Structure 1
Amino acid sequence: MTSAQLPDEISDLSAREETAKTFGQFLEEKWTAVCRGLATDQWETETVLEDLREVLHPWGARPVGTRCEPPSFVSADGFPAELSVSWKAGRPEVRILFESLGTDGTPLGCQEAGRELTRRLAGRPGTDVARYLDIEDLFITSAPDRYRATIWHSLAWRPGKRPHYKVYLNPQVQGLDRAYDVQAEAMRRLGLAEAWEPVGRRGEELAERGHELELMALDLDGGDTSRVKVYFRHLPMQMGELDTVAELAHRYEPARAARARAVIYGRDNGAVSNEPMTCLAFREGAPGPQEANVYLRLPDNTGSDEEAAERIARLMELEGIDPRPHAEILRQLTEGQPERAGALQELCSYRTISPEMPADIGVYLRFSTYTAPRPEH
């Protein structure tokens, strides 16, 4: 009997086993499966798992259950974490993005748990939270909205290196109409007012064209060269319009990006309605955004997770990146799972650094842990 023919009771049992685990157990298993797919050193993998356990504490000890309260904006089903793998110059990096859960099941509790974690990270080697503390007051509120970002974090690890951390903040925290004011003040305090200016002065135009300012991320690395990344969500629009934000970046290559879109979307024109994203990266001393990372959404765009994997593999091959580790990651994550377990690959990211180098390509993995979708905000 093939996995597509598994009876309902076996499929349901698999789902019950997953939701009976703690968040920490669930995410450690997924992280370990990704690392097996990349054939990372087992001792190194175990060492980084210690870091993962610490950043998920204390909420990582809770059962996953059948829903997350409050539902997180990280994932469509409300699950508070996603994993991703990025190939930079052909070398993989494993990341986890998550929202810390508070003790009271409220968005305010999640916000306060995120603030507390940021302060705990201050003691990590190479980690500095001073720049975050300079802007924190702009991104907190006494009444955070449900189904929106509070204060999120990510842990990123490249084999052979120490983990790096980022904090993610919500410019819409004081309302969508004030998002550009909040972002501009944050950039001023971070010494990036000049770099932000060519983007900020076009804010009204970008919003009218359907490019919504949604998130910012701050590297928590020491030194003045750490990045600030600003994310835009693209509402339904024509495919060519997706370049509007990315073309503000110095190193963006429209022709290569158009090729990547054609591969991932299976076409080179028409409307795009599944809300892809673009991220602009800023560093102190630069006159504007240096790089643009486009995030192309896969569900509702491909017929199956297998088709999504084939398109990602094709894009990797075009960029001279070996697609076999990506295939092995998927095999490790889906081994023993029913075929109808749901789409695993949520986003494919694409960023060009120079015409001579392969693009950075990332795959974002979400696990369809809960059966009920997250309510819309």
Structure 2
Amino acid sequence: MTGPRPGVADTLSPDTLGGHVAGQLLRLGEHGGLSAADTEGYARTLVEALGPVARRSLELPPPSRSFLSDDHTPVEFSVSCEPGAAPSLRVLLEPGAGEHDLTGNGRTGLRVLREMGRRWGFTTDRLDELEDLFFPPSPRGPLALWCALELRPGGVPKVKAYLNPAASGAGRAAATVRKALKRLGHGKAFASLPESDRPLFFALDLGDWAEPRVKVYLAHDELSATEAGALSRMDDGPDPAEIEEFFRIAAGQDTGVAAGGLEAGAEDVRAAEEGRGPRVVRRPVQTCHAFTDTGSGLPSGFTLYVPVRDYARHDGEALARATTLLGRYGLDPSPVLRASTAVGARQPEDGVGLVAYLGLAHQRGRPPRITTYISSEAYEVRPPVPGRVANARPSQSLAAVALSPAPLPARP
């Protein structure tokens, strides 16, 4: 008689990529309200999707220079919180990270997604319609295909695919987005996108979604809070003041001091005196415009992403900002704080980058939600940034952050 099937953590050393990220996912699931069986199944799926690189020793360099994270770990976690619902745990991964080029990377990613479709009973038809646009014979750019799994109770996740608009060259990225939107029935959508510096990703919801979305991600270099507030194109979308507030808190902006603790330049000082705030000049802020309605051409969703790791001295500050933002919406910060400890045992002031992005999402028919993106840091921890930071809290351990005062009440 055979015994119980060994868990994925029992089959891989924690010193391998797969063992490292599977262990993180198992701890996240334990803290995130998933059953042991569901969490084990999702960890196994993650390892299987990574393929042979899952057994690669962490003493070796990353299998490729993955654009997915700063240290090239092809996995990132996130916790999404909204009023009236349990927090949602997600994992983003690059299935083809072990391939030698983008062509192989894309082929592997498509194969893995189609295998997921067969396993969980969803079709990849919409993705298949776009294959020639995003998987040309000689692809370019920083990625071929990523996929995200929203981990739900019951063991069947919601699945998303992320594609590279610049696959045929950066100069053709906008045209690729326009063609892809048109093929999927969103012929008017491209005209509603705001001005940006470049398209970053084109994404599709696959499988069991009430309203599957088509999403366009845009990069905005040197963006101010006021400019960010004007980027939503939703009908009856968020108030610009709400977006500006999120931007300023996430970026740690204050009069006379640039985000991240560096002294402000003359233009930043003038902007602050005029009430515009210092301009973000590091990693670009991103926006996402989600389309579900093929008739109006207007997006039904808008998300702003601030790369908080570039504008904080260390992760203690990034977690403090996440706590403040969650409090603005009456949300309990403990799921995010527990997730941070589940992924990394280090003290937050010992590095910067564990908290990668903070996102504010508005979707028609749903309350706003805050998403905190958490890096795996399998290969490297970025050192903290020395220097003065406006309104910086004293260095705190994760335990101290978790015991900080209760969140502020929700705004009216």
Distance, in Å, in 2 between the alignment partners of 1:159 and 1:223 is 15
Counterpart secondary structure, 2:211: coil
Decide whether aligned partners of structure 1 residues 44 and 261 sit closer, same or farther in structure 2, where only a CA change above 3 A counts. Answer: same
Letter in 1 for 2:302: A
**Cα displacement string for residues 101-154 of structure 1 (whole angstroms, at most 9, x for unaligned residues):** 3655223221221122122122132421011101111001233336x0211111
Residue 267 of structure 1 aligns with an amino acid whose one-letter code is Q
2:333 equivalent to 1:333: no
Match of 2:333 among 301, 312, 323: 323
State whether residues 158 and 208 of structure 2, in contact with CA within 8 Å, keep that contact through their aligned partners in structure 1.
Answer: no
Asked if the contact 1:350–1:359 (Cα under 8 Å) also holds between the matched residues in 2, the reply is: yes
Please name the residue that 1:218 is paired with: 204
Counterparts of 1:55 and 1:20, CA distance in 2:
17
Q: 1:277 to 1:110 in 2, by over 3 A?
A: same
Equivalent residue runs for 1:1-377 within 5 Å: 21-89=15-83, 90-101=85-96, 104-145=99-140, 148-160=142-154, 162-199=156-193, 206-207=195-196, 211-221=197-207, 225-247=211-233, 250-267=236-253, 269-274=277-282, 275-287=284-296, 288-335=298-345, 340=350, 342-353=352-363, 358-371=367-380
Taking the aligned partners of 2:209 and 2:158, their CA distance within structure 1 comes to 13
- Residue 251 of structure 1: how far off its partner (Å): 2.5
Structure 1 residues 283 and 247: alpha-carbon distance in aligned structure 2, compared to 1, 3 A threshold: closer
Task: Identify unmatched segments of 5+ residues in structure 1.
Answer: 1-17
Q: Which amino acid aligns with 2:299?
A: P
Structure 1, 172-181 or 121-130: larger mean CA deviation = 121-130
Q: Name the CA shift for 1:121/1:43 in 2 (closer, same or farther; >3 Å).
A: closer
- How many residue pairs align between the two structures? 346
User: What CA deviation, in whole Å up to 9, does each residue of 1:295-331 have, x standing for no partner?
Assistant: 1111131222011111111111110111112112222
* Change in CA separation of 1:255 and 1:326 when aligned onto 2, cut-off 3 Å: same
Q: TM-score, normalised by structure 2?
A: 0.76
Moved more, 364-373 or 215-224: 364-373
Q: Note the C-alpha offset of 1:338.
A: 8.9
Residue 168 of structure 1: how far off its partner (Å): 0.7
Q: 1:52 to 1:102 in 2, by over 3 A?
A: closer
Measure how far apart 1:341 and its partner are: 5.0
Question: Comparing 189-198 with 178-187, which one deviates more in the overlay?
Answer: 189-198
CA distance in structure 1 between the aligned counterparts of 2:175 and 2:117, rounded to whole angstroms: 28
The 2-side partners of 1:258 and 1:336 are apart by 32
- Residues 92 and 146 of structure 2 are in contact (CA less than 8 Å); yes or no, is this contact kept in structure 1? yes
**Residues 148-157 or 80-89, more deviating:** 80-89
**Identical aligned pairs, as a percentage?**
27
Deviation at 1:335, TM superposition (A): 2.9
TM-score (norm 1): 0.83
Provide, for residues 68-119 of structure 1, a one-character-per-residue CA deviation record: whole Å limited to 9, x for no partner: 2431111122221211111134421111111123655223221221122122
Quote the offset at 1:216 in angstroms. Answer: 0.8
Structure 2 counterpart of 1:145, which letter? Answer: R
Q: Which amino acid aligns with 1:368?
A: E
C-alpha contact 1:191 1:284 (8 A) present in aligned 2: no
Gaps of 5+ in 2: 1-11, 255-276, 383-412
Name the amino acid aligned to 1:352.
H
RMSD over aligned CA atoms reads 2.7
User: Contact 1:69/1:106 (CA < 8 Å) preserved in 2?
Assistant: no
CA contact (8 A) 2:144 2:163 kept: yes
Deviations 1:38-61 (A, max 9, x none): 243323322332333332334323
The structure with more helix, counted as a fraction of residues: 1
Secondary structure (helix, strand or coil) at the match of 1:271 reads: coil
1:70–1:107 contact (8 Å) kept in structure 2: no
Q: CA deviation at 1:336?
A: 5.9
